[in-house]
Amino acid sequence: MGAGHDHATKVEHETPLWWAFGLTATFLVAEVVGGLLTNSLALLSDAAHMGTDVIALAISLVAVRLARRPPDAKRTYGYARMEAIGAMINGGLLFVVAAYILWEAVGRFREPPPVASTGMLVIAALGLIVNLISMRLLKAGSGDSLNVKGAYLEVWSDMLGSVGVILAAVIILTTGWTLADPILAVLIGLWVLPRTWTLLREAGNVLMQGVPRGLDLEAVRRTILARGDVAEVHDLHAWALASKQPVLTVHVVLKRADDDAETVRRSLAGELDELFGIEHVTIQVESAACMAERGHA
């Protein structure tokens, strides 16, 4: 027996995603051209990050649209996990870009090329403004959705990249030390990688039907067993359809045969919702007598 709930995903923050996508895509062209003209690896690395931002935001928008679809005969839980799939793709893109920048930087350490620092500085400053606006747009949704969190992390890393490029441009402009360019590019790549791993791990946990982050399954078990009408708990499972949609199924055995199963089920479902925030609970209620008969069968 289970509580009745609608599996359709509650989708928010689509408008900020569209604004961030438009701003980032518009500026990407200028940054690529500027990076080629100035011969700056740091600027090109920032452009590469911005390129992944555009892809990440596009993936996020597609995931938002798909996640809005209601359940159907083939996908009874709907498309909620598109959020985690989008986050996995975004994380993979970040890894690829970071690896490429680190590889390219090795060659520049051996033979640093000349860099047009003034143009590099101007373009990076404009990029920083775009990134800050995009971050502001996405911040609210980053705590609610893995999908938006992936896009937010992309823009955050690109914002840091813009700051790094500005710093490198100032150093080159004032000292002529062109090694600052690949050094900053490497630092950007190293900063992004651990945060990307965190995103991939969270998305992977959703896709592998792991226990949702922040949910103590043993605490759930203890709460159920602490009830005066429950004798045993078994087949306890918890997973997440998306970052904010925990699901739980459990079999409970009643202490007394005369306890009303429907009353116990409703009371327990309400308790789990109140204490652990689990709205979608499926509870199978069994009596000790039924368990005994099953054991002798």
Tell me which of 3 and 15 has the higher pLDDT. Answer: 15
The confidence score (pLDDT) of residue 238 equals 93
Residue range 66-117, pLDDT digits in tens: 767 777 778 777 777 777 887 788 788 778 877 877 787 777 787 777 777 7
Task: Give the whole-number percent of the chain exceeding pLDDT 90.
Answer: 16
Q: Tokens 């979608």 map to which residue?
A: 280
The pLDDT assigned to 13 comes to: 61
- Between the alpha carbon of residue 97 and those of residues 55, 176, 272, the distances in Å are 12, 27, 43
Homologous superfamily of the 14-207 domain (CATH): Cation efflux protein transmembrane domain (1.20.1510.10)
- Which tens digits make up the pLDDT trace of 247-273? 999 999 998 878 888 999 999 999 999
Give the per-residue pLDDT at 219.
94
Q: Which residues contact 29 (CB under 8 A, 6 or more apart)?
A: none
Q: What is the pLDDT of residue 139?
A: 75
pLDDT surpassing 70 at residue 132:
yes
Predicted confidence at residue 161, as pLDDT, reads 74
- Inform me whether the pLDDT recorded for 57 exceeds 90: no
Same fold for the pair 14-207 and 217-296: no
* Residues 101, 105, 107, 108, CA torsion sign: positive
Confidence of residue 276 (pLDDT cuts 50, 70, 90): very high
pLDDT at 37: 79
Look at residue 3 in the predicted model and tell me its pLDDT: 44
List the domain boundaries for the chain: 14-207, 217-296
Per-residue model confidence (pLDDT) at position 9:
39
Task: For residues 278 and 269, give the distance between their C-alpha atoms in angstroms, rounded to a whole number.
Answer: 8
Position 5 scores a pLDDT of: 45
- pLDDT exceeds 70 at position 125: yes
User: Mean pLDDT over residues 199-225, rounded?
Assistant: 89
Integer Cα distance of 196 and 95 in angstroms:
7
Among the listed residues 93, 68, 97, the one whose alpha carbon sits nearest the alpha carbon of residue 83: 68
Return the higher-pLDDT residue of 37 and 226.
226
pLDDT confidence bin for 12, thresholds 50/70/90: low
CATH 3.30.300.30 fits 217-296, yes or no: no
- Greatest Cα pair distance in the chain: 87
* pLDDT value of residue 279: 85
Of residues 126 and 104, which shows the higher confidence score?
126
